[in-house]
């Protein structure tokens, strides 16, 4: 348990935060590699042939791999494949948090550098064996990897033993407990059928150079659902369900409960075909089989308002408007605008992006990693978007659209999301080829920081400097009869006469994994009156914490 006072004392002498153009203090400060010690750079394997996997990675993650209470960092790299043979070995990166604002590369010692035939894409972190230590799953064009945490700073590749040698091209993944048996299952987004030996070339553009094919020209594929058997192995269970029948080009996924029935559903962003909303209907009493209903069309989250399939990439879910129901977000490519879907509480949604200024701000942008979070701890849900065009030659034939694009920050004011990027700091006036985004509090000050992975570049670490005197309580939930990570838990809290709620979802963003802790903002209230946790099934218990101490992190175990 680390108090804000202790952290500020530890960090005495830290550099002063930057300012915006108007002289205001920046909301976020970019921490340079020289400051953080993070020297790793992504290799996108870009070639004159312009193979499509080159432009889609990488992902990133915040995780506490050694259980010392401080968020470490994992970064995904490309690697050997049928079209790319790196001249020097490429590695993922695992950086240990030194608790003083710096990080140390422990990749080799941990044994998580990657593997043969693994052109890395994304990462999903979860405690699949309920031993209290986070495990790492890496998706790829090629072979996926499941790294089991050995509890001593090292990991073991147990992919084959676990039955997770998944073929094809996987992108985002999510750990969640779909059948409420207390064990984390795994969903994998499958992208396009890219061919076995030869890959489609899309010819030359007006510059006389090959370009990245639009995913529309490739055949869609089925995603994968693995059930956790509880003995370290998994069994595919998507066969015969809507998950198998729904052919898509999945890039982003979030697990949440859209209808408050206690069963985790899946929202999948697809590129150039409709999005999917797999509603979890539970076990059929007659057949004994698990039922998934793909309902994106009826729920009005599959297409744009004019009925067009878009290029969905990043997704997330949160109770944005404090209605007690989870809302959805999907980021698309330029000219398509992004969508903020308000939950109408009837398994239907309404796109309110225009009313919130999100559509207008994103018209010329292509969105990837994103996150709903409360960056200033006022108790309301805010939003951050990482952007970048997939075509590195776009500027040669478009006057408005750029390859490198800015990060956007939205603050919730009066029930609406307002673009405050011009107040966010110098990093928000720069442009990046951004892809994955992870949110997490790496310095334990209660202010959620942001990590952005860039295509072919160094990661961007943004430290949250929005200390406006708002109070907070941080929770690390630990399930007992439910899954150890407490994914699916619902949390309500009362502060300053206002009751708010949130849900511990899983996944979201793009190719990335977030800090598993939950930070509850209280605004100017000097105390939180109570916190109420409804644990996921099979527990379903309601646990109440009265008047928790403020501005600290607590471990809360299912009692």
Q: How far apart are CA 233 and CA 238, in angstroms?
A: 16
Q: What is the dihedral of CA 544, 547, 552, 554, to 10 degrees?
A: -20
Q: How far apart are CA 357 and CA 361, in angstroms?
A: 6
pTM of the model: 0.95
List C-alpha distances in Å: 300 to 343, 376, 451: 10, 32, 31
Dump pLDDT digits (tens) for 135-146.
999 999 999 999
Residue 327 is predicted with a pLDDT of 98
376 touches 382 (CB < 8 A): yes
Residue 388 is predicted with a pLDDT of 98
Residue of 427, 435, 375, 437 lying closest to 406 (CA atoms): 427
Mean pLDDT, residues 209-221: 92
Mean pLDDT, residues 101-128: 97
Mean pLDDT across the chain, nearest whole number?
94
Is the bond preceding residue 58 a cis peptide, omega within 30 degrees?
Answer: yes
Dump pLDDT digits (tens) for 182-193.
999 999 999 999
Residue 295: how many other CB atoms lie within 10 Å? 20
H/E run at residue 461: strand 460-464
pLDDT above 80 for 8: no
Is the bond preceding residue 538 a cis peptide, omega within 30 degrees?
Answer: yes
Q: Which two tokens stand for residue 463?
A: 């430290």
Mean pLDDT, residues 66-82: 98
Mean pLDDT, residues 264-270: 98
pLDDT above 50 for 9: no
List the 449-454 sheet strands across, edge first: 28-31, 460-464, 449-454, 434-440
Residue 267: how many other CB atoms lie within 10 Å? 31
Query: What own/partner pairs with CB < 8 Å and gap ≥ 24 does 92-99 have?
Result: 92/120, 92/138, 93/38, 93/40, 94/65, 95/37, 95/38, 95/40, 96/65, 96/66, 96/72, 97/68, 97/70, 97/71, 97/72, 97/73, 97/442, 98/37, 99/10, 99/68, 99/70
Residue 209 is predicted with a pLDDT of 86
Largest CA distance in the chain: 67
Residue 557 is predicted with a pLDDT of 97
pLDDT above 90 for 397: no
Return phi, psi of residue 330, to 5°: -140, 135
Mean pLDDT, residues 285-302: 96
Residue 497: how many other CB atoms lie within 10 Å? 7
Q: How far apart are CA 419 and CA 405, in angstroms?
A: 15
Q: How far apart are CA 312 and CA 317, in angstroms?
A: 15
Residue of 310, 249, 316, 245 lying closest to 278 (CA atoms): 245
Residue 198 is predicted with a pLDDT of 73
Dump pLDDT digits (tens) for 444-480.
999 999 999 999 999 999 999 999 999 999 999 999 9
Q: β-strand 265-270 against 250-256: which pairing, if any?
A: antiparallel
Mean pLDDT, residues 415-429: 97
pLDDT above 80 for 18: no
69 touches 3 (CB < 8 A): no
Mean pLDDT, residues 328-353: 97
- In the three-class reduction of DSSP (H, G, I as helix; E, B as strand; rest coil), residue 423 is classed as helix
Q: Which two tokens stand for residue 163?
A: 């039955």
Mean pLDDT, residues 429-435: 98
Residue 403: how many other CB atoms lie within 10 Å? 19
Residue 13 is predicted with a pLDDT of 33
Mean pLDDT, residues 337-350: 98
pLDDT above 90 for 275: yes
């Amino acid at each position: 348990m680390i108090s804000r006072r202790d952290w500020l004392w530890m960090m005495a002498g830290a550099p002063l935060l930057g300012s915006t153009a108007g002289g205001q203090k920046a909301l976020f400060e970019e921490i340079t590699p020289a400051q953080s010690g993070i020297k790793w750079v992504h290799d996108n394997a870009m070639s004159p042939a312009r193979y499509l996997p080159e432009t889609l990675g990488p992902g990133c993650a915040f995780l506490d791999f050694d259980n010392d209470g401080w968020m470490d960092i994992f970064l995904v790299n490309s690697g050997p494949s049928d079209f790319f043979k790196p001249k020097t070995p490429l590695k993922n990166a695992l950086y240990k948090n030194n608790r003083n604002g710096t990080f140390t590369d422990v990749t080799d010692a941990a044994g998580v550098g990657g593997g043969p035939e693994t052109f890395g894409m994304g990462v999903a972190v979860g405690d699949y064996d309920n031993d209290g230590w986070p495990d790492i799953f890496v998706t790829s064009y090629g072979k996926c990897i499941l790294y089991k945490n050995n509890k001593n700073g090292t990991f073991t590749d147990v992919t084959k033993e676990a039955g997770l040698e998944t073929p094809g091209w996987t992108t985002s993944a999510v750990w969640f407990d779909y059948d409420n048996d207390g064990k984390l299952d795994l969903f994998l987004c499958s992208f396009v059928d890219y061919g076995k030996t030869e890959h489609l070339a899309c010819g030359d553009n007006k510059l006389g150079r090959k370009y990245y094919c639009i995913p529309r020209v490739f055949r869609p594929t089925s995603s994968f659902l693995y059930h956790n058997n509880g003995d370290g192995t998994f069994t595919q269970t998507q066969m015969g369900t809507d998950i198998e029948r729904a052919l898509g080009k999945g890039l982003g996924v979030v697990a949440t409960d859209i209808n408050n029935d206690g069963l985790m559903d899946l929202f999948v962003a697809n590129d150039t075909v409709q999005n999917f909303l797999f509603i979890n209907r539970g076990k059929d009493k007659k057949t004994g089989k698990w039922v998934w209903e793909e309902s994106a069309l009826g729920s009005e989250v599959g297409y744009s308002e004019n009925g067009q399939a878009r290029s969905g990439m990043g997704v997330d879910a949160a109770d944005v408007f404090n209605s007690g129901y989870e809302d959805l977000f999907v980021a698309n490519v330029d000219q398509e605008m992004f969508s903020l879907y308000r939950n109408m509480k009837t398994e239907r949604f309404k796109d309110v992006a225009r009313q919130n200024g999100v559509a207008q701000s994103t018209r010329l942008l292509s969105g990837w990693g994103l996150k709903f979070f409360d960056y200033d701890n006022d108790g309301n849900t805010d939003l951050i978007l990482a952007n970048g065009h997939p075509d590195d030659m776009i500027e040669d034939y478009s006057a408005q659209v750029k390859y490198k694009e800015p990060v956007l920050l939205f603050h919730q004011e009066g029930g609406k999301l307002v673009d405050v990027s011009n107040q966010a700091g110098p990093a928000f006036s720069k442009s990046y080829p951004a892809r994955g985004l992870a949110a997490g509090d790496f310095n334990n000050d209660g202010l959620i920081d942001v990590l952005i992975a860039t295509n072919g570049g160094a990661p961007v670490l943004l430290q949250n400097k929005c200390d406006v005197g708002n109070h907070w309580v941080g929770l690390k939930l630990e399930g007992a009869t439910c899954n150890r990570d407490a994914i699916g838990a619902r949390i309500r809290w009362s502060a300053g006469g206002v009751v708010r709620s949130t849900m511990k979802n899983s996944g979201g963003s793009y190719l990335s994994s977030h800090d598993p802790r939950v930070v509850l903002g209280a605004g100017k209230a000097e105390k939180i009156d109570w916190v109420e946790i409804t644990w996921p099934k099979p527990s379903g218990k309601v646990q109440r914490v009265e008047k928790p101490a403020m501005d600290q992190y607590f471990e809360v175990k299912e009692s």
